[in-house]
Amino acid sequence: GENVEQHPSTLSVQEGDSAVIKCTYSDSASNYFPWYKQELGKRPQLIIDIRSNVGEKKDQRIAVTLNKTAKHFSLHITETQPEDSAVYFCAASSNDYKLSFGAGTTVTVRA
């Protein structure tokens, strides 16, 4: 089955700086890669996703890149703000629709 590894497990950044979270996946058949943000006590919320036919996708301060050859994808948050503090999860899925998650990254934005 799919194995998704996520790094780092914790990340502390100064407000206004950028944050980068990296994930690798094992199944070359995976073709859909979403990212979720989970605030304390809340549900995971989809913030951005990318499909395997695209190398990069951007939505305001958030961007995701995908390297299919190396089987890794990354989340980039620019101009971080205190409200970006949360746990971020990457995930991978193939045509079987099974969604496998990484272990999560706790991001803390220091004011």
Partner 1 sequence: DARVTQTPRDKVTEMGQEVTMRCQPILGHNTVFWYRQTMMQGLELLAYFRNRAPLDDSGMPKDRFSAEMPDATLATLKIQPSEPRDSAVYFCASGTGTARKAFFGQGTRLTVV
| Cβ–Cβ < 8 Å for 103, 9 | yes
Binding segment (CB under 8 A) for partner 1, from list 15-23, 52-60, 68-76, 98-106: 98-106
Q: Binding to partner 1 by residue 98, rule CB under 8 A?
A: yes
Upstream peptide bond of 8 is cis (omega within 30 degrees of 0)? yes
CB of 82 to partner 1, least distance (A): 23
Binds partner 1 by CB under 8 A, chosen from 25, 73, 88, 89: 89
Sign of the CA dihedral running 76, 37, 2, 59: negative
* Cα 20 from Cα 85, distance rounded (Å): 13
Q: Binding to partner 1 by residue 100, rule CB under 8 A?
A: yes
For residue 68, the number of C-alpha atoms closer than 13 Å in the C-beta half-sphere is 12
Binding segment (CB under 8 A) for partner 1, from list 21-29, 66-74, 75-83, 96-104: 96-104
Kindly list the residues in this chain that would bind partner 1 in the complex (CB under 8 A).
32, 34, 36, 42-46, 49, 51, 89, 93, 96-104
